[in-house]
Structure 1
Amino acid sequence: MKALILVGGYGTRLRPLTLSAPKPLVEFCNKPMLLHQVEALAQVGVKEIVLAVSYRAEQLEKELKAHEKKLGIKITMSHEEEPLGTAGPLALAKGILSADNEPFFVLNSDISCEFPFQEMLDFHKNHGKEGTIVVTKVEEPSKYGVVVYDDTGRIERFVEKPSVFVSNKINAGMYIFSPAILDRIELRPTSIEKEVFPFMANSGQLYAMELSGFWMDVGQPKDFLTGMCMYLTNQKQRSPERLYNGQGVHGNVLVHPSAKIGKNCRIGPNVVIGPDVVVEDGVCIKRSTILRGTTIKSHSWIESSIIGWRCQIGQWISFFFLVPTDPNRSCCLRFIFIVGDAHSNNSINDICLD
């Protein structure tokens, strides 16, 4: 089996992190976002994964080639000369995806969930049509484009931001297709959601499979942290042995074995600490991710923040809703700088670090 992962975007929603690394390589819960998906695909027998890329392809290829032998898969780069949207990449990789005449997976690169690939495959084979999309439930469907389908899963229509209730299920960014779909797509910038799916639904060729468990698009900072919390809760239920239970820990916390945590710290709830991180004495960290190589000096307070690679955080600093990323600058703030969720983006970085 084969799979195509859409990684061609610039990751602007996750800046400033993506100024240092392509979005698929940003660590989510101590593993590159893309690697969560690659490992899950390998577990269901996928042997070749095509990455639809247009940005920093060399960096992606270098990082992921190391995992090919370990996982027993082949990773192929499909280079876009121009951005091809969400359908054009399928046409560009048509020769690979149709080679064995088997169903293939397609997914967005910035989603976090339990990746029910085996269930998708079984569901798709059972209905025998061209396409299956995974859908997930949302609390406020009026903010989204929703999917309307019957009791068998056959999709009837798509409704954009409905003013009255018609469905509370949205596209979760994971698909499985039969090769016949490739005949519908031209090699040009195309939206699969707007230019392909409606026609498939009208001809009875598109089905929806409901996702059980957590799901989050982690492509922007506030959702990155929400997805992290969901992931840690899932780990507590599924693999509690992976979580850290050292002194001063409260709630779900994931700590890389190479990280060092000082005395009298309060860590958690909902914290991820990456490789080679040093947390000195008396530090409090809540609902945050600390990426590789960062040092947090004593008695600092970090909450609802993403701290980038190799940062130096000084003593007695308080961070709330921040995303510092520059390894060449030390943070020496001596006051609480609070920025709400709505402003948790790259525009705050220079303000906070000057």
Structure 2
Amino acid sequence: MVVKAVILTGGPSRGTSFRPLNLAADMPKPLFPLGGKPMIWHQLHSLSQVPHCTEVFLIGFWPEDTFTAFINQANEEFNGCFTVKYLREWQELGTAGGTYHFRDLITHNATAFFIIHSDIACDFPLNQLRAFHETHQGVGSIQATRVSRSSAHKYGCIVSDDKALAIHYAEKPDSFVSDLVSTGVYLFDVTLFDEIAAIIDCHYSSNIPQQEIGFDEHILRLEQDVIRPMADAHKMYVFETDVPWRPIKSAGSALPANELYLAQYQAKQGILLYQRGALDDASEKDSETEIVQPVTIDPSAHIARGCKIGPFVSIAANVVVKEGARVAHAVVQENTIIEPHCCILYAIIGARCRLAPWARVEGQPFTGDESAPTQSGICILACDVLVTRDVLIRSCIVLPNKSLSTSAASQVLL
């Protein structure tokens, strides 16, 4: 069975809750690094393990050149598995509208296709989902997982019977429906497009004004407009899995997602983790630098003597960490300078930041449901932020181009 895949990337007007991490022009949300790799690289890596997956389409309404460099690298890395292409919507069409618009490309020589949201972190058990899909006669399969009862209303909730048939779907319901929720990963037969056409015809043939039923002729939503009526018609099945899963909605939720991928690397013999002697800089002092795995460090980074890095740290290209610094549970983006004896804990540090000696940037450890779409205690510095000597920034969100000369806690620093 030849399959293809669609990764939904959204566009500039989406992902606003991810600010300030995506305010920089060169950092759209789908390319934010998690585990040392762009967010959507992980979907591609899992798709590369799926036999007979021939094409992957990134669909969104970003400018044409947004993914050019990434796609060139991906086509080189996954050469022999599939080709990656970006399909730009002529306007914002919704999570199903873009897929429907490009249906001829998606269905060509294919019998089924995955739809995967870009803003999720997961182990993506796609082969298991595919095997499950082949056992039933439905149009589509939803990958689902269990969450806490208190947080279920934040997701798309599914009610299924004992044969895994979805009998009801509710997107972010006001009251409790089910603790079984969609993970944003789907596998559909190409007949999905016949179902969508019928749904559109049904809306337009209805005598009820479209605005009263929440239907927009220009925007077609996958979950609300397509999956919900298909579940009511008993055409969707549910593949329940307990693999770790994190939604990536707010800026703070990127940190648990980063830790999920680092834990996966460690469980898989640490292939992508930092290895002693891996840095390009000859001044690396292995014997005097403590690395607590799991950690990823770009080879171009400079790590000085007496540092302690880890656990759960991702350090990007050209980062400089000077002597005596402590970094744990953190993402440090490219070209950032961490001066001597700084401390970074439970924080995301944007590109081109500078922390002066003895500065301290820290958030709060994750609490409660780590699959929650927000993590409000994480400290976040956007790009080009300066934290001066001896300053403590705790659980703050700092916008770009700020110079912080006084300590602050639990604030948004504009």
Instruction: Report if TM-score (shorter chain) is over 0.5.
Output: yes
CA distance in 2, matches of 1:31, 1:346: 24
CA distance in 2, matches of 1:287, 1:14: 19
CA distance in 2, matches of 1:116, 1:143: 23
Alpha-carbon offset, residue 306 of structure 1: 1.1
**Aligned ranges 1:256-275 → 2 under 5 Å:** 256-275=298-317
Greater share of helix: 1
Deviations for 1:219-277, whole angstroms, at most 9, x for unmatched residues?
32221111122222222222235434764233532222332222222222221112222
Tell me: CA distance 1:122–1:305, structure 2 relative to 1, closer, same or farther (3 Å): same
Alpha-carbon offset, residue 349 of structure 1: 7.3
Alpha-carbon offset, residue 315 of structure 1: 1.3
The percentage of aligned residue pairs carrying the same residue is: 28
| Residue identity opposite 2:393 in structure 1 | F
Tell me: CA distance 1:174–1:144, structure 2 relative to 1, closer, same or farther (3 Å): closer
Structure 2 contact 6–57 (Cα < 8 Å) conserved? yes
Gaps of 5+ in 2: 201-216, 276-285, 364-378, 406-412
CA distance in 1, matches of 2:305, 2:124: 38
Tell me: CA distance 1:70–1:228, structure 2 relative to 1, closer, same or farther (3 Å): closer
TM-score, length of structure 2 as denominator length: 0.78
Is 1:19 equivalent to 2:19 in the alignment? Answer: no
CA distance in 2, matches of 1:351, 1:216: 32
Deviations for 1:300-346, whole angstroms, at most 9, x for unmatched residues?
1111211122322221111124332334x54325321222xxxx546
**SS of 2:185 mapped into structure 1:** strand
CA distance in 1, matches of 2:271, 2:95: 38
Aligned position for 1:64? 71
Gaps of 5+ in 1: none
| Residue identity opposite 2:382 in structure 1 | T
**Aligned ranges 1:1-354 → 2 under 5 Å:** 1-10=3-12, 11-20=15-24, 21-44=27-50, 45-72=52-79, 73-139=82-148, 140=150, 141-159=152-170, 160-161=172-173, 163-164=175-176, 166-185=177-196, 186=200, 188-244=218-274, 247-321=289-363, 322-327=379-384, 330-339=386-395, 345=397, 350=402, 352=404
Alpha-carbon offset, residue 143 of structure 1: 4.0
Structure 1 contact 78–92 (Cα < 8 Å) conserved? no
Q: CA RMSD in A?
A: 2.3
Larger Rg: 2
CA distance in 1, matches of 2:249, 2:155: 16
Deviations for 1:104-137, whole angstroms, at most 9, x for unmatched residues?
0111111111111111111111113110111111
Alpha-carbon offset, residue 350 of structure 1: 4.1
CA distance in 1, matches of 2:20, 2:64: 19
**SS of 1:200 mapped into structure 2:** helix
CA distance in 2, matches of 1:346, 1:58: 28
TM-score, length of structure 1 as denominator length: 0.90
